Amino acid sequence: MSSQEYRHIVRIAGKDILGTKKTIIGISQVKGMGYNFAKSILDILKINPNSNIGFLTESQVEEIEKIMKNPSVVNIPSWFLNRRKDIDSGEDLHLITSDIDFNVRNDIEREKTMSSWRGFRHTYGLKVRGQRTRTTGRKGGAVGVRKGGKVLPAGALAEGEAPAAPGQAAATTASPGQPGTPAAAAAKGAAAPAKDTKAPAKDTKAPATKPTTEKKAK
């Protein structure tokens, strides 16, 4: 082949493939086409799988796309197809590109509408094919008991809290009505009736002292 027939980009079934890739690798890049399926198509069309895909002619590309969409025209066995006994048509089909996603989405919606067990699992985002779910497939936030802070005794300082200055009341996080706090003590003292704090008067008279007598010098 001459260099004028080489194409840097080859479009097959809506997929742009670099012309430098091998033919078998380029065809297998189409969604729904595996390595073995691509090898079967190239063997049927008598195309060298190790040649660059950029050297394929327009007629060869059309033949490849035709077999991709309808493999039954070249008698490819049904067990080689990816959708056998289609639920709508009952035929053996081989889906490629966006047809795969479209049919899978329709199958899931049909299961949900039927309220089948598979549809139930799809609805709640759970595993469908009997896999283990105890330790795998967990989603969302953590589930379990969240550890809290330690309970400090009354009057103790929390971690990172500075001690109160002399003469200044220590700040507490307890509510005003909680017993044992300065605010609660003040409230209790205000509510209690005032008692007579007048102390009885004491006798301040100095006790009598004996007169001192000076000793006469001899």
Q: What is the pLDDT of residues 193-205, one digit of tens each?
A: 555 556 555 656 6
Q: How many other β-carbons are positioned within 10 Å of the β-carbon of residue 174?
A: 13
pLDDT of residue 137: 84
Question: Could you tell me the pLDDT band of residue 128, with boundaries at 50, 70 and 90?
Answer: very high
pLDDT (average), residues 211-216:
57
Least confident stretch, 108-117, 124-133, 151-160, 180-189: 180-189
What would you report as the CA-atom Rg of the chain, rounded to the nearest whole angstrom? 47
Burial of residue 97 (CB within 10 Å: 0-12, 13-18, 19+) is middle
Distance CA 103, CA 97 (A): 11
pLDDT of residue 129: 94
Q: Specify whether the CB–CB gap between 121 and 114 falls below 8 A.
A: no
pLDDT of residue 143: 63
Burial of residue 71 (CB within 10 Å: 0-12, 13-18, 19+) is buried
pLDDT (average), residues 141-154:
69
pLDDT (average), residues 46-68:
93
Could you report the per-residue pLDDT of 59-109, keeping only the tens digit for each? 999 999 999 988 988 889 999 999 999 988 889 999 999 999 999 999 999
Query: Can you give the pTM of this predicted structure?
Result: 0.57
At 22 the three-state DSSP class reads strand
**Whether residue 2 has pLDDT greater than 60:** no
The domain 3-79 having CATH identifier 1.10.8.50: the answer here is: yes
Distance CA 184, CA 154 (A): 14
Q: What percent of the chain has pLDDT over 90?
A: 50
Could you report the per-residue pLDDT of 153-163, keeping only the tens digit for each? 777 666 666 66
Contacts 24+ apart (CB under 8 A), 32-41: 32/68, 32/82, 32/94, 32/95, 32/96, 32/97, 32/99, 32/100, 33/68, 33/96, 36/80, 37/80, 40/76, 40/80, 41/67, 41/68
Q: For the chain, what percentages of helix, strand and coil (3-state, to nearest 5) are there?
A: 35, 5, 60
* Closest-CA residue to 158 (of 173, 180, 168, 177): 173
